[in-house]
Amino acid sequence: MHDVLKSVQKLVPETLELLQKRYDILRTIYYNSPIGRRILANNLGISERIVRNEINFLKNQNLISINTPGMTLTSEGIDVLEKLKDFIHELKGLSEIESYIKKYLNLKNVIIVPGNADEDITVLSELGKAASNFIKELLKDNSIIALTGGSTIKSVIDNISNISSFKNILVVPARGGMGRSLEVQANNLAANLAQKIGANYKLLHVPDNLSSNALSALLNEKDVKEVIENVKNSHILIYGIGRADIMAQKRGLNDDKIKSLMGKGAVGEALGYYFNNNGEVIYCASTIIVEHDFLKNINNLIAVAAGKSKGEAIISALKSINNTTLITDEGAALEIINILNKKEQTI
């Protein structure tokens, strides 16, 4: 099929470009409905005139409906969007990119969704949906699921549908508190996931940047010890990957520590560990829940990260935690390929 697509792209490239544009419009409406024309144009980075023409076409095809609150997809539109997903994936050559990244970084699996979250926030919803579908395939009775916080992990939890067919599942946070945004903290996301899949959950009240005495006292608390053991014995661990500079600020590290991290070459952060370009751990937060060496004992590590700006961070983290399934977007994947190719050329 890929060879056929290449031939079609050479013969009538404008047709495939139009297909991708209309697919992006449908996807953006689906994840943001009801949405107005102006916001849609801003989200896609195209003019209102072009959006107006495309919207008229899609409406005439009964793929969208337009009401006072804004545009939504019809049932037929949702059906077309779903059926086109695999075609768009092949059209963009994402299967080949998945295989390349998987082999080069020695990962368990790679799943890529179209788009770049840095330019289109809708991509996060698509990413969350892909990750939630993958996670649901791993669920079974008596599972323990651990997860970190962050907006990307939140998109995963938001896209998991309600399930009630499993017994004795436990959900626990793999990190303590982060910043002031309650809705993206691991505790809150663990509770939300548990509610959706009919599971039990436990909370972990261990804020970042505690003094050594306060941290030592907390880690000796029975409830905290239990959660840490649950994380270590988890069957599924879902975590995000961030840029070291941004995550250091979010975690409240002081300016001197951030400057020191950058001076040591920190580029990526995951699970409280900061990595350099070689995947070496150069610093870890005081509130680490799972020791780095213990991560290899968890069967299903799932990293979810998106956006071109995270390409380097993803490589650095996954060189160190390579028994992972990576779920990312096209923007990050192409940047990963670009970085890997440059490194090969310098060898």
Give the number of other CB atoms < 10 A from CB of residue 224.
19
Residue 8 above 80 pLDDT? no
Q: Give the residue extent of every domain in the chain.
A: 2-91, 94-346
Asked if 152 and 158 count as a contact pair (C-beta separation under 8 A), the reply is no
Q: Is the pTM of this model over 0.95?
A: no
Q: What is the pLDDT of residues 144-203, one digit of tens each?
A: 999 999 999 999 999 998 888 899 999 999 987 655 577 889 999 999 999 999 999 999
Q: What is the pLDDT of residues 219-264, one digit of tens each?
A: 778 888 898 899 999 999 999 999 999 999 888 888 999 999 999 9
Output the pLDDT for position 14: 79
Mean pLDDT value of segment 319-337: 95
Output the pLDDT for position 209: 61
In whole angstroms, how far apart are CA 171 and each of 117, 161, 202, 233, 270?
A: 27, 16, 7, 12, 19
The DSSP element (H or E) to which 110 belongs, if any, is strand 109-113
Mean pLDDT of the chain: 89
pLDDT band at 17 (very low <50, low <70, confident <90, very high): confident
Give the number of other CB atoms < 10 A from CB of residue 154.
21
pLDDT band at 347 (very low <50, low <70, confident <90, very high): low
* Topology of the domain covering 2-91: Arc Repressor Mutant, subunit A (1.10.10)
285 or 346, greater pLDDT? 285
* Topology of the domain covering 94-346: Rossmann fold (3.40.50)
